[in-house]
Amino acid sequence: MNFTPITVSKVVKKMFPNFVWSIDSEEKTLYLTFDDGPTPEVTEWVLACLKRYNAKATFFCIGKNIEQHPSLFKQIIKDGHGIGNHTNNHLKGWKTSVDSYLKDVSQAQNIINEQHQESEIRNQNLFRPPYGRIKARQSKLLIKQNFKIVMWSVLSLDWDKNVSEQKCYENVVKNAVSGDIVVFHDSIKAFKNMQFTLPKVLDYFSEKGYDFKRIPE
């Protein structure tokens, strides 16, 4: 049984007020995010799906994946989506020293900047810690470096093999409201659930008059 909370409690949000959990919006807007890419075929499928709905999203990319698939990373930017830093090696902050963690984030940021200096790099100050696990000292120093630490309002749990496709879909549509940040993963592990859920989520909220936007800088 999975005990990962789908939504974030008010208590947790108050404990970490310097993190972004949602975005105030007077309009019907959702902020879809995708972690762990870019991943060949998977990210391409996501981009095609988003384009069909004229939806924008934010991709929190792993540095080493950008380095391995630069053209796919560039396509994310070309399609008008935002990007964010997700460390270079998908580190667990709780199990990593402060110095090592910051060096890994910096390495990923260098790759982001070096790969496409000629491109308009959107949201390059956004950072999401893998697993949502980050030490207070790590976050404090990243914020000092002008990173905006973006967490989430709703988890789809698309990566969890014990979560069915239908449950993944319900996790989003039963919990997301305007201004929420929703987490998906453009990874091989999450692809089965995400491939089922994403178009249905886009359908469901589009019919209710929602727009899908990038996370603002």
Q: Kindly report, residue by residue over 160-202, the tens digit of the pLDDT.
A: 999 999 999 999 999 999 999 999 999 999 999 999 999 999 9
Task: Write down the catalytic residue from 69, 81, 90, 185.
Answer: 185
Task: Determine which helix (DSSP H) or strand (DSSP E) holds 181, and give its type and residue range.
Answer: strand 181-185
- Evaluate whether residue 119 is within a structural domain: yes
- Evaluate whether residue 22 is within a structural domain: no
pLDDT over threshold 50, residue 1: no
35 is catalytic: yes
Burial class (CB in 10 A: 0-12, 13-18, 19+), 154: buried
pLDDT over threshold 50, residue 4: yes
Task: Write down the catalytic residue from 35, 36, 104, 180.
Answer: 35
Number of domain units in the chain: 1
DSSP E strands, 28-155: 29-35, 58-61, 82-85, 126-127, 148-149, 154-155
- Evaluate whether residue 122 is within a structural domain: yes
Lowest mean pLDDT, pick from 83-87, 128-132, 213-217: 213-217
Q: What is the mean pLDDT of the chain?
A: 94
- Evaluate whether residue 25 is within a structural domain: no
Query: What CATH number is associated with residue 206?
Result: 3.20.20.370
The predicted model scores a pTM of 0.96
User: What's the CA dihedral at 165, 169, 170, 174 to 10 degrees?
Assistant: 170
At 217 the pLDDT is 78
pLDDT over threshold 50, residue 115: yes
Residue 69 domain boundaries: 31-212
116 is catalytic: no
